Every structure is written in structure tokens, then in C-alpha cells.
Homo-oligomer: A and B are copies of this chain.
Amino acid sequence: MPGSASKKAAASKAADRAYAEIRSLILAGDASPGTPLREEALADIVGVSRTPIRDALRRLEAEHYAFRTPGGRLVVAEWDVDDVAEMFALRAMLEGHAAARAAQRITAAQLDSLRQCNAAIEAAIAQPTPDIARFLGENRRFHDLVLNASASARLVAMLASLVEQPIVRRTATRYDRADLARSAHEHGQLIQAFAAHDEEWARAIMTAHIRRALHAFQDASPSK
């Protein structure tokens, strides 16, 4: 019923399939950073003509999954440590802002959804071996719910290009059980702040929540 806050308004069938397919190629690492994204080759892979491929590539470019060389060629973007830190910093600011807005606007029903979602997260963690995939899915859903409660289409769009990057995935994969539990605990505090409609409390918790993720990533990161 809530759908996904980050899904763009579905326009067409082929262009959407192309977008999803190319994006998953990038996220899965099948198209590693620096790989050129040639329209005709992608058209063959996806099984559509170049026209919807071009649409999809424009979207991916706008979301910084790829960038354009001085000529017109598109290549898969790569993120160095500074980029990643910057992305987390922006996410912390914007999601903190979203949390503050949500605290003012959230409804009882939305609060319930958040509680149920976090319960699912805790269930995923509680298993003998934590269910990381389920954790990721529900975690994403939790943040989407907050974003929806913030009621700002602009925020939703801006964060779309920040949240689903491979980095988020890699970070959570490195989490041990204590990290996962801490994450769920922070969600719980966030729910309290929402229930109290205390926007600055919500902002602070969300900011801390994401900045902790940054440092978890940096600690797990190999070098530099």
C-alpha cells in the first residue's frame, strides 16, 4: 500500500524496464566504474530499441549513476572515499531535515506502520543468523516511510539518488549483530521522537543514525 517512496512516476513500460535493468547492472557490479554505457549494446541486452534506452540513461545520469565524458559518452560513475563521505553527509542533512518535517506531520497510522516495520527489522536480526537481505529491505522501507511522512516531493527526489547506491548495501553487509541491533534501537528512538512530535529530537537522531553508518562504512573500508 505505501509503495516505494523512491519510485519515480512510471512513464512507459520499455523505458522503465531499461532503467531498472541497467541500474541493477551497475549496482550488481556487472558494469563496474569506468565501463562505457553504449546505447546500442544496452538496447541489445534489454531487448528494446535505443529510444527507451536513451530515456533510461538520462535518468541514470541525472541520478549520478553515470557521468558524461567531454565528448558525449556515458560511463559508469565511481565513488572514491571523499565522494562517499560527501554522500553520507548530504544524506544526513537531508534525511535529518525529512525527520524534522515528519515529526511535525506524522499521523497515528504512519506511526503504526513505522512500529510494524521496525518490529520486522528486529525479527530479521533476532534469527540465529541475521537475515541481512530482509534487514536491508525493511530498513529501506523504514526510511521510505519517514520520507513519505515528511511530505516533500522535493526531498524524496533528492534523496533518491543518495540512498540506493551500492555503498549502503556494502555498509550493512559489514554490520555485526551489535551494529544491526543498534540500528534498530535508533529507529525505536526515532519513533519516540515522532510520537512526541519533537522535530529537533527527530533530526538529531536521524543525523546520528546516518553518520554512524558513515563511520561503520569507513571502518570496514580497506584503505586510506
Using a CB–CB cutoff of 8 Å, the interface residues on chain A facing chain B are 9, 11-12, 54-55, 58-59, 62, 64, 67-68, 72, 83, 86-87, 89-90, 93-94, 97, 152-155, 157-158
A202 CB → nearest B CB, Å: 15
Question: Which listed residue (B12, B152, B154) contacts A72, Cβ 8 A?
Answer: B12
Residues of B contacting A54 with CB < 8 Å?
A: 55
A99 CB → nearest B CB, Å: 13
B90 pairs with A158, CB closer than 8 A: yes
A62 pairs with B59, CB closer than 8 A: yes
Give the most central of A68, A90, A94, A97: most B CB within 10 Å. A90
| A-B pairs with beta carbons under 8 Å apart, 16 shown | A11-B68, A11-B72, A12-B72, A54-B55, A55-B58, A58-B59, A58-B62, A64-B154, A86-B152, A86-B154, A86-B155, A89-B97, A90-B94, A90-B97, A93-B93, A158-B158
A85 CB → nearest B CB, Å: 10
A62 CB → nearest B CB, Å: 5
CA distance A90 to B97 in the complex (A): 8
A97 pairs with B87, CB closer than 8 A: no
> 8 tightest A-B contacts by CB?
A62-B62, A9-B68, A58-B58, A93-B93, A86-B152, A11-B72, A158-B158, A86-B154
CA distance A104 to B93 in the complex (A): 19
CA distance A152 to B84 in the complex (A): 11
Give the most central of A67, A153, A154, A155: most B CB within 10 Å. A154
A61 CB → nearest B CB, Å: 9
CA distance A62 to B154 in the complex (A): 10
CA distance A54 to B152 in the complex (A): 26
CA distance A89 to B104 in the complex (A): 15
Q: With A68-B11, A72-B12, A154-B64 known to touch, is A94 a contact of B93 (CB < 8 Å)?
A: yes
Residues of B contacting A67 with CB < 8 Å?
A: 9
A154 CB → nearest B CB, Å: 6
CA distance A154 to B58 in the complex (A): 16
Residue of B nearest to A55 (CB): B58
A173 CB → nearest B CB, Å: 24
